[in-house]
Chains A and B, each alone.
Chain A
């Protein structure tokens, strides 16, 4: 499945946004504004949860 979009963001709480990512919380705070272009393909991974379940080697 493919997707393409351009979105305008206003007043996004960066701390809340980054907290949604593993190890992403607490590094940046503030409000975010800007235009974001997103395009790509939702690809398949042989081990989609590896980064969440296995330590780095």
Chain B
């Protein structure tokens, strides 16, 4: 999936391999229903435009009647994922990376992709567990993160988070939240 035109050339998401399990019963009724997805070696490049949206947002997109509607997917697994977050510079060129996560393994249930991408969503759009071998916040590192997470109303809620930090440990003692512009 490529970046929208206002962003530098590149991809929002690249995935080496996708395995999808389809509902045979739905296919017999000429409907495509994905029961489960396994994404192997995906790379998510999140880029923020200081004056506008993230590259994965597309407020101008209209739901096309020609594309099949993606319903709730019972299970989504991510294996060996990588997430890279960066800002655009005022010149429009790609800026420095401010967050990256490597060796991500994620197991989510009841994932609603369409609602995740919809800025007006106000419901739970998936929940599960995530592990990451390495996280970098600028120059600060954490390793072996484990957490439960919930996607809800454009927020990501992390609970039961623990990680290794510079010879010690970090454990989140209250629910953590991350959210985009409101």
Could you tell me which A residues sit within 8 Å of B by CB distance?
1-14, 16-17, 20-21, 31-33, 35, 42, 44, 46, 48-49
Contact = CB atoms under 8 A, between A and B. Distances in A.
Contact of A16 (B50, B96, B166): B166
B6 interface: no
A17 B171 contact: no
9 contacts: A4-B177, A5-B161, A8-B170, A8-B172, A9-B169, A14-B166, A17-B165, A44-B50, A48-B96
B170 A17 contact: no
Contacts of A35: 173
B174 interface: yes
B87 interface: yes
A25 to B, nearest CB: 11
A46 B96 CA distance: 12
B168 A13 contact: yes
* Dominant SS among interface residues on chain A: strand
Which 5 residue pairs spanning A and B have beta carbons closest together?
A11-B168, A5-B176, A12-B168, A13-B167, A44-B50
Report, as a range, how many residues of chain B touch the other chain: 20 to 34
A13 B18 CA distance: 40
B95 interface: yes
Given A12-B165, A46-B90, A49-B96, 14 more contacts: A1-B181, A2-B178, A2-B179, A2-B180, A3-B177, A4-B176, A5-B161, A9-B165, A10-B168, A11-B168, A12-B168, A31-B167, A44-B48, A48-B95
A16 to B, nearest CB: 4
A11 B98 contact: no
A12 B166 contact: yes
Nearest to A49: B96
